[in-house]
Structure 1
């Protein structure tokens, strides 16, 4: 049995209390891996071994019967590079082998859910962490890393304030007494920048050179894809990154032809509908009106590791769960 991923809910202040532990929030691809045989399983449930040959080789050195939860990251010039991960996400097997040599990835393990074939995710985090640390105490491949963890709030604040320069997004806070709770949003995330996801439903400008994105979310009551916002103008590099992923919609698009909403300094403008299957990360502010973000939102990056089903509904910052 492979349990669902345990999730985190956003907080606007760092929780402090007995039994809490703190970990960096890595800027990477959330991934679970098994050994014996090695399988690298994406957030969406796909086996992605061909994208990460160096990680397959590294994980093959671990004992059989493990299930690890963690993050795939890439380091470039001393900081985490999400762009390097995006290149790997679309690389052919041959290209992935080349990138594995020139831009290697690392797997950062932060939880141990199965050991020697025994399910241990129901045990307290402190016990799972001890077993994970024992696993990493022995010599291991340099592509495998153990996530940092501290019970000291002052050390955690220092991480939060000073690790942004290397691409750490904030903190994940966990209760050391808790079991792994599949599908539950029972951890906390305290981010330097509050971001969320949306679906690209249309673009301002052409599909080949989009100047802004018209964002959609599914209505929590009806399930319909509705316009919830528009990004501020895209830079030329952002346009080049997005254009190959977008496809002009044919028939059956849920939105009629029309204009992108006027937001802030941006005037209403004609939009081109696209197939609504591309997920992007954006940074909205708190202003909402008539079921939309009131101001234009900042585009952060494309999220090919997420499906449209994983995007929050309505104007929620994160997806609801039990």
Structure 2
């Protein structure tokens, strides 16, 4: 697939000239950062966005930041969703089903990033429970609302390169907790979920993809000291130089939203279905070091057999079959 978009493209660049009037989009995590920017650019191009937020305060803040940008009939509605509680997830899904309004795109955007050790309301390790299982239940429950020709876009991360899923020990009961490894497992699960969802729904024209949105400086600063950050960047740039590539650059929030809206409304469905994307491109399947900034998805994250096993194990964990 050839297009003019890449690492330097913003969400506004990607949707330039696009008229999204009549399109309905569900986005989880429309309370800050990437979710707000994704919703903003979509409503600015005429889409109607249903966004999720955990609390009324978050919903009010999001609406204040997004609604003024609506044009061409675009708009925003907020609905309560706490992905750390399957009761909340099911209540949200039931409300959407009761409305019976189809979606052209669902963007699974919300998530926890390198959270300290803890458990969701239902007893799952926090990051796996929120990032994967919460979305697994929500999306599967409302799958019939995704219109034929629609898409599921799952926001994952190149952080998946640090670990495959461990379905025998998802809650870190038999090893010390490592927030980065837990995050990586949850992001690998996100990608595998998209692979299997795509396989199950492509016959009715619904396709699924997962993506890496890019790295933002504030997120790294929250997790690293200045010295750790400097050392990490030095290692990254050494690796990039060895690959003959330009030095690492942080992404703005609009750069980070670009691949989500590209996958949702610009890319060809048959090109991205069941694949992993970054920089508004489909990523190659390659084995890469954890610290490599080269494009690519690890083979285990797009393994169809592994995706089917994760699906079955996830059904067991949440007590529902889809």
- TM-score > 0.5 by shorter chain: no
Rg comparison, structure with higher value: 1
More strand by share: 1
